[in-house]
Amino acid sequence: MPERRTVALVTLGCARNEVDSEELAGRLEADGWQLVEDAADADVAVVNTCGFVEAAKKDSVDALLEANDLKDHGRTQAVVAVGCMAERYGKELAEALPEADGVLGFDDYADISDRLQTILSGGIHAAHTPRDRRKLLPISPAERQETAATVALPGHGPADLPEGVAPASGPRAPLRRRLDGSAVASVKLASGCDRRCSFCAIPSFRGSFISRRPSDVLNETRWLAEQGVKEIMLVSENNTSYGKDLGDIRLLESLLPELAEVDGVERVRVSYLQPAEMRPGLIDVLTSTPKVAPYFDLSFQHSAPGVLRAMRRFGDTDRFLELLDTIRGKAPEAGVRSNFIVGFPGETESDLAELERFLNGARLDAIGVFGYSDEEGTEAATYDDKLDEDVVAERLAHISRLAEELVSQRAEERVGETVRVLVESVDEEEGVYGRAAHQAPETDGQVLLTSGVGLSVGRMVEAKVVATEGVDLVAEPLTGSLACSEEAGR
């Protein structure tokens, strides 16, 4: 019997890419490939690249080069680039990086097994030719679902699977194979974006906004719960638009309670929300539904009106603060995170001061700060009033220091609170770590539990916050909660 072909998936970038990698893994395993964790043990290393900002692109190139080095002293025979950077640059990436044996776009995902087999056999598959994916779907959102089946949508894989790809979950299982045993998993709610922010190139290579069917989201969540997942994180480029192409812009409000009722799921989290699209009904559901985290990942980007208009965005400091007051009026413990760009073309000292005013009043739990840099193909790249790189770097350092101070202060405000912590790692030397409802995976800090008695990965435990370490919390498990956890583990 011939030895099975082996493949390793190396994933960079956001949670959306992680979902795409698990879809690719499902397709490959269904076609007889053996999945391995270490690229050095694989015949083919597939690098799922990120094409968002320069730093991410560099990380992607470094990962491809590192995988290529394995061809000299390991089992690896081929290195293939997929993901956003491959989709965005295609042939250009292939010419600039001959070390990659293949550069595949989203249109290749359905035939990923054949593509890899061709490359592994020494054949050549023409590098992907980039195109504006916004033009693949109708302009009218209401007409997109009819066309969706003809367009490659990573993470929207068909629900009906070949036998053996995944255990049955209700009537159907997803086209997906988990690549780790984590207690948290992301689920694609939608893909693409209809917004035209002047600094962002994502819509050009991810396409126009299109929602997944609620039944597919529910079935995938049920399947993940059967795999031991306790927390579901809903991801897309813009979750607040969910349902607009299905005829119901309030569809998320009805879907969230259904997801929270799935057996085995302890927490549902919604990522990436647009402040300009927040609705009172959505705020109500996010702050009052059991097992739905009162968590608001709000894309503010700035708060000075002039800068926001140049970004093709809406709002200002006072309106943003009013939104936060509304959220905390309903759920005082709600978690809020956001990202900001400083040094945007035309940003003045007074604009920077306005951003500082917002940050000082917002009480955010987590803050990401980025210095502006041109992104190819964006409107902002054509602006004339760009700031010197030294000025951008200085403002980035200044706001980053402020952000670090403010999130530490916000963490200190939580001392005395009772939080529900999802245990994610248990180590005799390093201790027991998890995350509370206001902390998303990898971005928002974590909780160190003072006792690990009766706890294991995947357990949900109530604990009282007793101290902080920067943005991280130190919490003492409540006795009753530990007892329940021990009982659940028997």
Which of 59, 44, 158 shows the shortest CA–CA distance to 104? Answer: 44
Q: Can you say which residues are annotated as belonging to the binding site?
A: 14, 50, 84, 193, 197, 200
d(Cα 198, Cα 246) in Å, to the nearest integer?
27
Query: Residue type at 4?
Result: R
Q: How far is CA 293 from CA 156, 180, 316, 437, in A?
A: 24, 23, 26, 5
What's the rounded Cα separation, in Å, for the pair 271 and 256? Answer: 13
- Does an H or E element contain 258, and which? helix 251-260
Where does residue 489 fall: left (phi above 0), alpha (psi -120 to 50 degrees), or beta otherwise? alpha
Sheet order of strands, 6-11 included: 34-35, 6-11, 44-49, 78-82, 102-103
236 closest CA partner among 264, 207, 256: 207
Annotated binding site for [4Fe-4S] cluster: 14, 50, 84, 193, 197, 200
User: Concatenated DSSP letters for 295-333?
Assistant: EEEB--B---HHHHHHTT----HHHHHHHHHHHHHH-TT
**Cβ–Cβ under 8 Å, residues 297 and 186:** no
For 160-307, strand residue ranges (E) read: 184-188, 190-191, 210-211, 231-235, 267-270, 295-297
